């Protein structure tokens, strides 16, 4: 939430009408929505756990004093105590009791205004985080699979739900990392085919000389090395759903054969003359514009139109920023559960950092960042902003299939290298920032082949 969109709320409780009036005027000028009460008992009637603002209360009051008032207010609401009879002992007691802060008279109104605004921002971030937790807990069905409350994702869920009920082939278009396979899985999961196989295959990962055998299958002796019968992906997916991911990479000569299979709904294994009837739904996923590729002669136009019975478009993450924090919280919770760790609370700065990042790797990058943030934050206390500045360099160059220890080592190397660069090779400064003994830092620099002289200016 930007500062322009931020709403600030405060409840002022003081038995002195002059002080109430003065504070109300100051806070009104600072664009803070104010409610004032002469007694804590009157204020309590208007406060519940959903109040989005801050409570500012005098300590010395009749009926119910500020310290007793603090104990009756929901613990998540920031509570600021003001007194003219302060002292260290009272301040310590107030903070132990859960007060957000303690202000002694006389004070500068500007300081109180800034204190209230800061507490409001933290309160609303905490509420938003709790709402995300609650929302994720309550999700079911397709909303639990395709997460988000942006209009684009709501439309996508509606389209997937409708298309799941029919047998038409589908083209799913989206940038790398947007979740094309997830959408394909949902098309299968919520269809009448759900009790049969969902078979995903990445076309670009199949060697060209094996693509026909892999998709159509072969009989024993069909070619050198074919020692036994092999059931192809089309046949294996019979009754279910076949996903042809990155279909734009399919060789042109083979596109003709795929076109025939789609038209005839039958497949013939290599080395056989007997076609097998197919009842399979074919989903093609692509990051390219197939129509443009067909116009440029890079994809068969007839195959494009045969596949294009229906089409789904998955928007990139940068076009649905309202989903980013919710998705990140979801992935953070999953990572915490699988690693038996506690997910760190997201602060306002974290949410702004997430929303301002471009996410070129889309949901896949967001998921990887959540997993790395959980691990690196617990290990080294790194902030989310630092992780995105440094850690994502590792994410873009490291192998996504590497082990957890390998990924952590890569992040550690990037952190040390970044600090060496920032401090121009000053070993003492790097030791202080990373809280590492000289011997440990030397060992890690040697392990990662990081040389001090490479960072000198």
> pLDDT tens digits for 354-390?
988 889 999 999 999 999 898 888 777 778 888 887 6
Using the structure block, give the residue that is written with the tokens 């589908």: 170
- What total number of domains does the chain contain? 3
Of 90, 121, 136, the residue at which a domain comes to its end is: 136
Residue 221 backbone zone (phi > 0: left; psi -120 to 50: alpha; other: beta): left
| Mean pLDDT, residues 287-313 taken together | 92
Average pLDDT, the chain: 86
Same domain, 45 and 64: yes
309, 451: one domain: no
Half-sphere exposure of 191 (CA within 13 A, CB side): 25
**Domain-embedded: residue 196:** yes
Same domain, yes or no: 345 and 329: yes
Is residue 160 a contact partner of residue 186, using CB atoms and an 8 Å limit?
Answer: yes
Q: Which two tokens stand for residue 332?
A: 């953070």
Whether 341 and 306 map to the same domain: the answer is no
Is the residue at 64 inside a domain?
Answer: yes
Q: What is the pLDDT at residue 3?
A: 43
pLDDT for 391 beyond 60: no
3-state helix, strand, coil in the chain (%, to 5): 55, 15, 35
Name the pairing type of β-strands 276-277 and 266-267: antiparallel
307 and 222 within one domain: yes
Same domain, 209 and 332: no
Do both 288 and 272 map to the same domain?
yes
Q: Is the domain of 423 the same as that of 397?
A: yes
User: pLDDT tens digits, residue range 133-155?
Assistant: 666 666 668 888 999 989 999 99
In a domain, 3, yes or no: no
pLDDT at 401: 52
Residue 22: exposure state from Cβ atoms within 10 A (0-12, 13-18, ≥19): middle
* Tens-place pLDDT, residues 209-268: 899 999 999 998 888 888 899 999 999 999 999 999 999 999 999 999 999 999 999 999
Q: CATH number of the domain that 197 lies in?
A: 3.40.50.300
| DSSP single-letter state for residue 74 | -
378: CATH: 1.10.8.60
For residue range 109-129, list pLDDT tens digits in order: 888 998 999 888 888 877 877
Structure tokens at 294: 């067909």
Instruction: Say which CATH number the domain at 13 has.
Output: 3.40.50.2300
Residue 1 placed within a domain: no
In 3-state terms, what secondary structure has residue 251?
Answer: coil
Q: Please report the pLDDT score of residue 446 as a whole number.
A: 85
Residue with tokens 């929901």: 74
One domain for residues 110 and 147: no
Range of the domain at 288: 142-315
308 and 338 housed in the same domain: no
pLDDT in tens, 73-89: 988 899 998 887 666 67
Q: Where among 315, 332, 349 does a domain terminate?
A: 315
Does residue 380 contact residue 373 with C-beta atoms inside 8 Å? Answer: no
Looking at the fold, whether 12 and 152 belong to one and the same domain comes out as no
Of the three residues 299, 315, 331, the one that is the final residue of a domain is: 315
Based on the fold, state whether residues 357 and 403 are members of the same structural domain.
Answer: yes
Q: Classify residue 189: in a domain, yes or no.
A: yes
For 314, what's the count of Cα atoms within 13 Å in the CB-facing half-sphere?
Answer: 26
Domain presence at residue 178: yes
Tell whether 368 is covered by a domain: yes
**259 located within any domain:** yes
| Least confident stretch, 117-121, 161-165, 369-373, 450-454 | 450-454
């Amino acid at each position: 939430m930007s500062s322009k969109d931020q709403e600030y709320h405060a409840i002022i409780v003081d038995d002195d009408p002059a002080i109430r009036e003065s504070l109300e005027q100051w806070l009104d000028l600072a664009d803070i929505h104010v409610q004032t009460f002469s007694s804590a008992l009157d204020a309590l009637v208007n406060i519940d756990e959903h109040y989005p603002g801050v409570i500012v209360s005098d300590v010395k009051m009749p009926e119910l004093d500020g310290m007793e008032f603090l104990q009756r207010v929901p613990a998540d609401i920031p509570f600021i105590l003001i007194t003219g009879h302060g002292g260290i002992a009272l301040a310590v007691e107030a903070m132990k009791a859960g007060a957000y802060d303690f202000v002694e008279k006389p004070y500068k109104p500007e300081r109180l205004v800034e204190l209230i605004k800061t507490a409001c921002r933290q309160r609303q971030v905490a509420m938003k985080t709790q709402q995300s937790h609650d929302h994720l807990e309550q999700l079911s069905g397709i909303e639990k699979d395709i997460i988000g409350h942006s209009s684009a994702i709501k439309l996508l869920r509606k389209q997937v739900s409708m298309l799941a009920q029919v047998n038409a082939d589908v083209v799913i278009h989206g940038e790398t990392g947007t979740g094309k396979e997830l959408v394909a899985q949902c098309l299968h999961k919520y269809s009448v085919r759900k009790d049969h196989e969902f078979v995903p295959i990445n076309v670009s990962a199949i060697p060209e000389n094996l693509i026909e055998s892999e998709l159509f299958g072969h009989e024993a002796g069909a070619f050198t090395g074919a020692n036994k019968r092999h059931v192809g992906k089309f046949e294996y997916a019979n009754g279910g759903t076949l996903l042809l991911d990155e279909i734009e990479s399919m060789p042109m000569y083979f596109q003709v054969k795929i076109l025939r299979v789609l038209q005839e709904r039958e497949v013939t294994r290599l080395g056989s003359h007997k076609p097998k009837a197919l009842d399979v739904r074919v989903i093609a996923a692509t990051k390219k514009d197939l129509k443009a590729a067909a116009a440029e002669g890079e994809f068969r136009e007839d195959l494009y139109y045969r596949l294009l019975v229906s089409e789904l478009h998955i928007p990139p993450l940068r076009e649905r920023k309202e989903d980013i924090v919710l998705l990140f919280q979801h992935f953070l919770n999953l990572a915490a559960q699988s690693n038996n760790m506690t997910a760190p609370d997201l602060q306002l700065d974290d949410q702004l950092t997430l929303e301002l990042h471009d996410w070129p790797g889309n949901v896949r990058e967001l998921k990887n960042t959540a997993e790395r943030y959980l691990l690196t934050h617990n290990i080294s206390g790194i902030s989310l902003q630092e992780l995105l500045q440094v850690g994502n360099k590792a994410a873009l160059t490291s192998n996504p299939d590497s082990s957890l220890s390998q990924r952590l080592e890569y992040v550690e190397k990037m952190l040390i290298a970044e600090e060496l660069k920032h401090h121009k090779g000053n070993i003492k400064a790097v030791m202080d920032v990373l809280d590492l003994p000289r011997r440990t830092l030397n060992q890690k620099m040697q392990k990662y082949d990081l040389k001090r002289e490479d960072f000198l200016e």
